Amino acid sequence: MNRPGDRAGGGALGSVREPGGLYAAPATLWLTVFFLAPLAIIVAYSFLTPGARGGVEWTPTLDAYRAIANPTFAKVTLNTILVAIGATAVTLVIALPCGYYMARSERQTLLLMLVMIPFWTNFLIRIYAWIAILGNEGFLNDLLRALGLVDESVRFLYNRGAVMLVLVYTYLPYAILPLYSTIDKFDFSLLEAARDLGASKLGAIVRVLLPNVKGGILTAFLFTFIPIFGAYAVPLLVGGTESYMLGNLIADELTKSRDWPLASAISLVITLVTTIGVLLLLRANGASTLGGPAGEASADGAAPEPAVGGAR
């Protein structure tokens, strides 16, 4: 991003090669050995034959990729996609008005703290809190029994709904924070201008605000979609067999069925989806922030808006 030549006085950088290589060596070496090499091994393993007790035999095959396509795995993949899209959509729909409200508030620090405290709480504790509420011996069942509404515990956990709920709970702050910081930079006089020209309140938000905070929406989308797509702990702890996700499948293939090539192949699919998502984000953000053509275009586009808004 920051090319050395771009900065003030950067011309001198050409002469300052040393000791940059020396300083960079430990980080480069560490991440090459303990991040990139493991990924490369995963790629290689996905094309090999499973060993008897884990590991691989060096006979090339495409079996792992054929296995992904079989109906059992296709079902898990479909479930993962549905849960990821559903939970991300719910998260964004809640997070947008939250970010908007926080950006317009005069007590931003306080509101930020209210969002951050649950966010700072340990990931497992947050999952556990929902087990303590929704479990058979949990808070909600206690309450329902005490009120005489039910005689036997209601089974709230271990289904797809519980997985979605806890995922939304876990990743809401990941969506609220980037949306808040993007909306906070938005020039709200544009909204007023649109309204003065006759746009409805909703019309002004949809046609003027949203296009201008596109980058924040995309960031929020990826911050929630990527970890949810690779979710492991949440479906493991509050899900049932029908709410299994790809992350659980990888773990099972790795530790129970001991089919390492298959575990590697599924990991690669997740890696690929993630990488494509991030590349799309970078492209879209590059278009809307570099020189701001997209942002300015939509701000100018506010002028013809009232006709549309008024016609409704």
Residue 183 beta carbon to another protein: minimum distance, rounded to whole angstroms: 10
Structure tokens at 168: 């939304």
- Of 68, 76, 157, 176, the one binding another protein by CB under 8 A: 176
CA nearest to 164, candidates 250, 224, 248, 95? 224
Residue 62 beta carbon to another protein: minimum distance, rounded to whole angstroms: 19
Rounded distance, CA 65 to CA 260, Å? 12
- Of 78, 85, 251, 307, the one binding another protein by CB under 8 A: 251
Q: What is the chain's percent helix, strand, coil content, to nearest 5?
A: 75, 0, 25
- Of 24, 150, 276, 307, the one binding another protein by CB under 8 A: 24
- Of 62, 85, 124, 297, the one binding another protein by CB under 8 A: 124
User: Who's near 305: CB < 8 A, 6+ residues apart?
Assistant: 194, 197, 199, 203, 204, 207, 208
Structure tokens at 205: 């938000």
- Of 27, 52, 69, 290, the one binding another protein by CB under 8 A: 27
**Residue 114 binds another protein (CB under 8 A):** yes
Residue 149 beta carbon to another protein: minimum distance, rounded to whole angstroms: 14
Angle, helix 71-104 to helix 246-255, in steps of 10 degrees: 130
Rounded distance, CA 199 to CA 133, Å? 44
43 versus 297: smaller Cβ distance to another protein = 43
17 versus 256: smaller Cβ distance to another protein = 17
Contacts with another protein in 225-244 (CB under 8 A)? 226-227, 229-233, 237
**Residue 73 binds another protein (CB under 8 A):** no
> Residues 276, 282, 288, 290: what is their CA dihedral angle, to the nearest 10 degrees?
-150
Positions of E strands within 39-139: 49-50, 56-57
Number of residues that bind another protein (CB under 8 A): 104
**Residue 286 binds another protein (CB under 8 A):** no
Whether omega for the bond prior to residue 19 falls within 30 degrees of 0, making it cis, is yes
26 versus 71: smaller Cβ distance to another protein = 26
74 versus 125: smaller Cβ distance to another protein = 125
Contacts with another protein in 180-219 (CB under 8 A)? 188, 191-192, 195-196, 201
**Residue 289 binds another protein (CB under 8 A):** no
